[in-house]
Chains A and B, each alone.
Chain A
Amino acid sequence: MNSLSLGAPYLLVVFPLGMAYLFYVYRKGGKPKAVVISSLLVLRQFEGKPTSRTKFKPPLRSLLELLFFLLLALGSAKLARLAEARDVTVIVDNSFSTKARTEGGAPVWDNIKTEAESYLSSLSGSTRIRLYATAPTTHLVSDDSLSPTQARELLKKLQSEYGEDELELLLTKLTQGRTNAETIVFSDKEMAVSRPALSMRTAANLPKYNVAIVEASTTQEKVSVSVVMEGNAPLKTELHLDAIDNDSGGARVIGSDKRELDLTPGAKVVASFDLPKRAKSAKISLPSLPESRNSLKEDDIVWINTSRTPKEITVVSPTGGSLGLDQIPFITVRAKTPEQYDPSSPAGGYIFHRAVPDSLPSTPSLIVLPPPGNRIAPTVTKGGEVKPAQVTRWADSHPITRYLTLTSLAFTEALPLQPVEWSRELISSTAGPIALVGEPLAEKVAVLGFEIFPFDGAKAPTVSILTLNIFKWLFDTSSQGAGIAKASLPLKLGEGIESVRYLETNEAIEKAQDGSFTPPQTGLIVFKGANGYKGQLAVQFFSERESSLVRDPIKLPSLEQKAGGSDYLVEPLSGTLAAIALTLLLLDLYWAALPLRRRGPGSAAR
C-alpha cells in the first residue's frame, strides 16, 4: 500500500512565504471597492495610490492564488509516493553450462530465461530491479535500476555465453553492498540458500549426462589429458590427438593418436600422448560420443599450444633468489642481489623485493616492501612501521583487483604506504594504503606494502591470484605469443598485430576499435603482425567447473536483513503539478500586472 510523502519537504516554506506575500500585496495595493460617480472631472486631481487599507477583505482571486502557491510548493517539494521500497536483484546465470541441452533438446538457458521472464512479469511496476548476468564475465546488464518491463526487454537480448559464472563471488559482493534488496538467482546450479532475502530458482529438466575434457597440459613432448563423465552408467569412448605443425607456413597435421577410455560416472580418467617434436600445437577431441551422453558438445575438444615465448623478469632481492616465481609458466626469472642490479642490462621487467633501485627502470616494476628511507621514493613509506592490517577497501575496477574479493584478507605485518603524485590507491587497510599502482615515466609500477613471496600457488589462493593479476597487468603475460585465452572475451595482443585467424578454418577475427580481438569460439588462433608470424594462442571457453553438470551447491553465509535504502519513488505527478501551478500562477501574475486604470467608454460597471 502506498502513501504520499514529500521528497523535499523543506521547499514547502515557499507556501507560507507566498501566502505572506499575497497578504502583503492585497493589504497594500489590492483592488479597491468600485464606486460609480457622476464625473471624474474633479476627482481625477486626487488620483493616487493609497498608503494603506483600513479593511482587508481577500478577494476570490487571492484564494485561487493561494491554491496555485500550494500546488507549486507541493510540486517543488517533489510530491512522492512512498513506494513499496522493493528492490530486487535478479541474477541470471548465462554461463557456459547453460548451453547444456535438456532431454527435450532445448538448451537449459531457455528454461532459465523463461523462468526469469515469468518472475519479472509477476513484479509490480514500481519495483526497481538490478539485473546481473554471469557471462562472459559477471556484469550488471544496465547501470540504472530497471522496471520489470525494461528488465524483461534486456533479458530477451541476453544469450548464453562461453564463460564461467562467479555466483559465489557476486553474491558475496552483493552481501557487502545493499542488503535490503531481495535477491533471486536463476541458474542451472544448485544453491544452499541461507539468506532470508535470497531465493534460488534452479532450472529443472537438466540431464546429468556429459563427457568433458576437463584438463589438458603439455610438458616436454608429452600431453596429459583428463576426461570426466557424468551419468548413471559406465561408458567407453575414444580420445583423439592431432599434432599440428604450423611453423613453415600453413597448418598441417603431422601426427595422430588415440586412446580407448573406460569412463565411469564421476571419475576422472587421465590419458597421455606423445607429441611429435615438430608439433607446435595439438587438438584433443572426443569424436565418437553418443548424443545421449553428451549434453555439452563444446567441452569435447581442447586445443593445446606448445610454443612458448618466455618473458624474462629480473628479480632483485637481498636473498638473490627467484622467490618461487619460476613456477609460473611463460616467465623466465633471473635473480639478482641489489648489488648486482644493473639498470642498463635489458629486462622484460623488474621485481624489487625488499629493495629499491636508485632510479626507476624504464620497464614495468613491482616493488614489494620497499625499505624505509629509500632514495627513489622516500615518501613511499610512512614511518617504516610494520603493522597488522585488515583489508578494508580495494579498487574494484582495476585489472589487478577486479573480480577479487579481499574482505577476509588480513596481514599480520604490513607496511602502510604514503601515496605519491603518480600513484593511486589499490588496496586500503586498517593500517592505511598497502598497495599503490601508477604509471610514472609511462611504465607501470606497483608498490606493495605486504609480502607476497615466495610464490607458492595454491597455498594462499587470494594472494596467488593477486600476484598473477599483478604479473598480468605489469608484464602482460597473457599476450606473449603463447597461452590460453577464453572465447568471447576481448583479447589484447599488443601493437602491430594485423590479423588474427583460426588455424583450422582460416576464419578471420575482426579487430575492435580498441585494438582487441574477440575470438567467438574455441580453436587455435594465429596472429600476424607487420613482420610476419607472431604467435599463436589456444582459445578455450570452458573450465572443468562449467563442464561439470553435477556440482557442489553454493553456500553463502547467513545475513541479517538490514533496513535502508531509498523509500521514495518520485512520481511524475510532481513535475506536472509544478508545471500546471506555475503556468496558472504566471497567468495570474499577468492579469495582476494589467493596470488598474482602464480607459475607454463603456467599460465601467454600473
Chain B
Amino acid sequence: MLPPIFTPQLLRKIELLKVVSRRSFLGHRQGGHISPRRGHGIEFADYRKYEPGDNPRHIDWNLYGRSDRMYVKTFQEEQNLSVLCVVDTTASMFTSPGNKKFERARDITLALSYISLLQQEDVLLCLPGSCPLKSFYGARAIHAIAQLFEGVASSKPEVMRKEVLKAITGMHYPGVAVLISDLLIPLEDVRNQITLLRSKGLDVTVVQLLSSGDLDPLGGESYALAIDSESGEEVTVSLDSEERRAYHQKVMEHVDAVAAVTRQLGASHVYGEVEEELFSFLSTSLSRSGLLR
C-alpha cells in the first residue's frame, strides 16, 4: 500500500518523468535505454564488412552500388536499465520528529521506483539491516516495495557498509544507483561510500536529505545535552542565536563539501530538505541532476 502522499494526481504527474542514465548500460531485456550492445535497434550505429551468415536485409545496397563492396549496417540495441536504490537506515535518519527524514527518503525511493517500473526497468532496493538487496520488475511491484518500508528499523553504520557492498556484488547488470542519506558523516566516509558504488561502474546520484532538525539541532533549547543518535556520544552545548546561525552555516558548508566530493568521484549530488514538496523536488532537483527527465 502506497503512503497517502501518493495521490492519483501525484502519480499521474510522476508518470510523465523518466529515469535516465548519463551513459549506456547493458540490460537483460528489451527496454527504452540505448544499450552498448549492437543489435536490432532503431538507432544506426556503424558499418562493418559483410560476413557470411549476416542477414542480407542489413546490407547497405546503396553503398554496395557505389563501392562494389558489401557492408552491413549495425544498430544500437535498446535495453532496460537496472536502478539501484540505497536508502540510509542508520539512526540519524530517524531522529527527526516523526521520522520525517526517513519518510521522505522512502517517498523519493517509491517515486523513483514507480517511474522505473513503469519504464520496464529493473528496480533493486537495498535497505541495510532490513533488506540487503531485492529486485523488482513490473508496475505492480511498487506495492511490494512500499510494504518493505514498513517496519524498517535503524541499523548501525557498519551494517550499512556491509550490506551496500553485498548489494552491488549481487547486481548482475550495472545501471543507475541512487543513494539517499543525510550524509552527516565525515567526508572520508562519504568518499568511501560513493567509491564503493562507483567501483561497480554505476551511474551514481547522491541525494542528501536534511531536515530542519539537522539545521537547528537543539530546537527551542539554548542549552542542552546533545546525544549523537549513532555513537551515543554526549556533548553539552549552548547555542545563542548567533551560534545557531553559525551552526547552520557550518552544516551547509558540509553539504557543499559532500557535493564537491561527489562530483570529484563522478557522481551527481542532489541536496534536499524534508520540508520540500515531493514533486517539486523530483521535477526540479532530480531533473537538474540528470537522473530524471
Chain A residues within 8 Å of B, Cβ to Cβ: 31-51, 53-54, 596-606
Identify B184's interface contact among A39, A596, A602, CB under 8 A: A39
Whole-angstrom distance between the Cβ of B201 and the nearest chain A Cβ: 30
Given contacts A32-B221, A38-B213, contact A604 B239 (CB under 8 A): no
Given contacts A36-B227, A54-B222, contact A43 B247 (CB under 8 A): yes
Q: Besides A34-B225, A37-B226, A599-B234, 7 other CB < 8 A contacts?
A: A39-B182, A40-B235, A41-B254, A46-B239, A598-B233, A604-B231, A604-B232
Question: Is the CB–CB distance between B226 and A43 below 8 Å?
Answer: yes
By a CB distance below 8 angstroms, the chain B residues around A41 are: 184-186, 254
Return chain A residues, CB-CB under 8 Å to B227: 34-37, 604-606
Could you list some 13 contacts between A and B, CB below 8 A? A33-B223, A34-B225, A35-B218, A35-B227, A37-B217, A38-B182, A40-B228, A47-B236, A47-B237, A601-B230, A602-B232, A604-B228, A604-B233
Find the A residue at minimum CB distance from B251: A42
Contacts of B284 in A (CB 8 A): none
User: Smallest CB-CB separation from A41: which chain B residue?
Assistant: B184
Grouping DSSP codes into helix (H, G, I), strand (E, B) and loop, the A interface class, with mixed when no group exceeds half, is: loop
A interface footprint on B180-200 (CB within 8 Å = 1, 0 otherwise): 001011100000000000000
Kindly state the separation between the CA atoms of A39 and B93 in the bound complex, as whole angstroms.
10
Q: Are A603 and B232 in contact (CB under 8 A)?
A: yes
CB distance from B121 to the nearest CB of A (A): 32
A-B complex: 9 closest residue pairs judged by Cβ atoms: A604-B232, A39-B184, A38-B92, A50-B238, A37-B217, A604-B227, A603-B232, A40-B228, A50-B223
Q: Least Cβ distance of A25 to chain B in Å?
A: 15
Are the CB atoms of B222 and A43 closer together than 8 Å?
A: no
| Given known A38-B217, A41-B254, contact A32–B232 (CB-CB < 8 A) | no
**Complex Cα gap A37–B182 (Å):** 12
Bound form: Cα–Cα A182–B215 in Å:
84
Can you name the residue of chain A whose Cβ is closest to the Cβ of B221? A33
Q: Chain B 236-271 against A: per-residue CB contact (8 Å), 1 yes, 0 no?
A: 111100010011001100100000000000000000
- Interface pair A47/B218, CB less than 8 Å apart: no
Is the CB–CB distance between B230 and A39 below 8 Å?
A: yes
Pairwise interchain contact B236-A39, C-beta atoms closer than 8 A: no
> Which residues of chain B are near A46, meaning CB under 8 Å?
237-239, 243, 246-247
Interface pair B237/A600, CB less than 8 Å apart:
no
B250 touches A42 (CB 8 A): yes
Q: Are A38 and B95 in contact (CB under 8 A)?
A: yes
Who on chain B is nearest to A37 by CB?
A: B217
A41 to chain B, nearest CB (A): 5
| Interface status of B169 (Cβ within 8 A of chain A) | no
For the A-B complex, the count of residue pairs with Cβ-Cβ distances under 8 Å equals 129
Provide the residues of chain B in CB contact with A32, threshold 8 Å.
Answer: 221, 223-225, 236
State whether B235 touches A36 (Cβ < 8 A): no
Does residue B219 face the partner (Cβ distance < 8 Å to A)? yes
B225/A596 in contact, CB under 8 A:
yes
Asked if B214 is an interface residue, CB under 8 A from chain A, the answer is yes
> Quick one: which of A36, A43, A54, A601 contacts B237, CB cutoff 8 A?
A43
B: interface residue count bin: 35 or more
Inter-chain contacts of B184 with A (CB < 8 A)? 38-39, 41-42
CB distance from B153 to the nearest CB of A (A): 12
**With contact pairs A38-B95, A39-B184, A40-B231 given, residues A48 and B236 touching in the complex (Cβ less than 8 Å):** yes
Is B229's beta carbon under 8 Å from chain A? yes
List of A residues within 8 angstroms of B185 by Cβ: 39, 41
Shortest distance from the beta carbon of B183 to any chain A beta carbon, whole Å: 9
Q: How far, in whole Å, are A38 and B230 apart by their CA atoms in the complex?
A: 7
- Residues of chain A within 8 A of B254, CB atoms compared: 41-42
B224: A residues at CB distance < 8 A: 32-35
Given A31-B225, A34-B227, residue A39 in contact with residue B235 (CB < 8 A): no
CB distance from B226 to the nearest CB of A (A): 5
Contact code string B8-20 (vs A, CB < 8 Å = 1, else 0): 0000000000000
Complex Cα gap A44–B218 (Å): 13
CB distance from A294 to the nearest CB of B (A): 97
* Cβ of A43 to closest chain B Cβ, rounded Å: 5
Inter-subunit contact A37/B236 (CB<8 Å): no
Residue of A39, A54, A598, A606 with most chain B CB atoms under a 10 A cut-off: A39
Residues in chain B near residue A598, CB distance under 8 A:
232-234
- Complex alpha-carbon distance, A596 and B234, angstroms: 8
Q: How far apart are A54's CB and chain B's nearest CB, in angstroms? A: 7
CB neighbours (8 Å) of B95 from chain A are 36-38
Q: Which residues of B contact A48 (CB under 8 A)?
A: 236-238
- Alpha-carbon separation in the docked complex, A32 to B93 (Å): 24
Query: What residue of chain A has the Cβ atom nearest to residue B252's Cβ?
Result: A42
In the assembled complex, the CB of B208 is this many whole angstroms from the nearest CB of chain A, namely 12
Chain A residues whose CB sits within 8 angstroms of the CB of B229 once the complex forms: 36-39, 604, 606
User: How far does the Cβ of B113 sit from chain A's closest Cβ, in whole Å?
Assistant: 25
Q: Decide: A49 and B236 in contact? CB cutoff 8 A.
A: yes
Q: Determine the chain A residues whose CB is within 8 A of the CB of B234 once the complex forms.
A: 34, 596-599, 603-604
The reply to whether B228 and A37 form a contact with Cβ atoms under 8 Å apart is yes
Asked whether, in the complex, the Cβ of B228 is within 8 Å of the Cβ of A39, the reply is: yes
CB closest residue in chain B, given A605:
B227
How far is A31 from B186 in the complex, measured between Cα atoms in Å?
29
Bound together, the chains give a CA A596 to CA B243 distance in angstroms of 22
- Given the known A-B contacts A41-B254, A42-B254, A597-B235, are A35 and B230 also in contact in the complex, defined by CB atoms under 8 Å? no
B225 touches A35 (CB 8 A): yes
A53: chain B residues within 8 A (beta carbon): 223
Q: Which of A33, A43, A601 contacts B235 (CB 8 A)?
A: A43
- How long is the Cα–Cα vector from A605 to B91 in the complex, in angstroms? 12
